[in-house]
């Protein structure tokens, strides 16, 4: 009987001790370092010539060669809906790139959408191609990739659903 009582009393103390140790381990775990993306494409480019859209990805100042995905979103100012999404490939030392040719002068914008090591980073850069007529350039107010065509399609779908519900 005494052994049984000791067992009942000892088990909670052992479990409590293990739980406390586990909490201390979790509290000491550091958050992973931020993934940094540096766009390496020049800001002044020529139309009709192949160029590389490129970005270097690092974490703790070390090259990231295992990014899940690197996509370059490119559009002419004021025409984001007609933009293109191009997949970058690892070239070397954390640099991901894709070849592209701008077919005419203009002001363009580029996001380097990067997903690596559980993080998503998307720096933006303005690209001036050739000698565009700056009086005809529309201001770009995009701050991220969400909310353009996909968002508009979602709104259309919601409107259709409301209409269908109303008709039934």
Whether this prediction's pTM lies above 0.75 is answered by no
- Distance CA(64)–CA(47), nearest Å, equals 31
Which regions of the chain are under pLDDT 70?
A: 1-29, 143-168
- What pLDDT score does 139 carry? 80
- What pLDDT score does 102 carry? 97
Tokens read off for 52: 């590389």
Who's near 4: CB < 8 A, 6+ residues apart? none
Integer angstrom CA distances of residue 149 from 72, 81, 106 = 17, 6, 22
Q: For the chain, first and last CA: distance in Å? A: 72
Mapped onto helix, strand or coil, the DSSP state of residue 79 is coil
- Distance CA(93)–CA(160), nearest Å, equals 49
- What pLDDT score does 129 carry? 97
CATH-assigned architecture of domain 35-134: Sandwich (2.60)
- Distance CA(149)–CA(142), nearest Å, equals 13
pLDDT in tens, 142-151: 765 444 433 3
């Amino acid at each position: 009987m005494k052994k049984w009582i000791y067992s009942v009393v000892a088990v909670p103390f052992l479990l409590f001790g293990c739980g406390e140790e586990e909490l201390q381990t979790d509290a000491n775990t550091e958050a992973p370092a931020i993934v940094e993306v540096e766009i390496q494409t020049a800001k002044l480019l020529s139309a009709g010539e192949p160029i590389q859209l490129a970005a270097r990805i690092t974490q703790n100042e070390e090259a990231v060669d295992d990014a899940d995905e690197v996509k370059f979103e490119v559009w002419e100012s004021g025409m984001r809906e007609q933009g293109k999404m191009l997949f970058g490939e690892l070239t070397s030392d954390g640099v991901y790139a894709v070849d592209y040719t701008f077919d005419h002068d203009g002001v363009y914008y580029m996001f380097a959408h990067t997903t690596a090591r559980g993080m998503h980073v998307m720096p933006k850069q303005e690209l001036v191609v050739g000698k565009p007529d700056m009086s005809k350039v529309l201001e770009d107010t995009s701050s991220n990739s969400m909310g353009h065509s996909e968002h508009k399609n979602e709104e259309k779908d919601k409107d259709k659903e409301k209409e269908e519900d109303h008709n039934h």
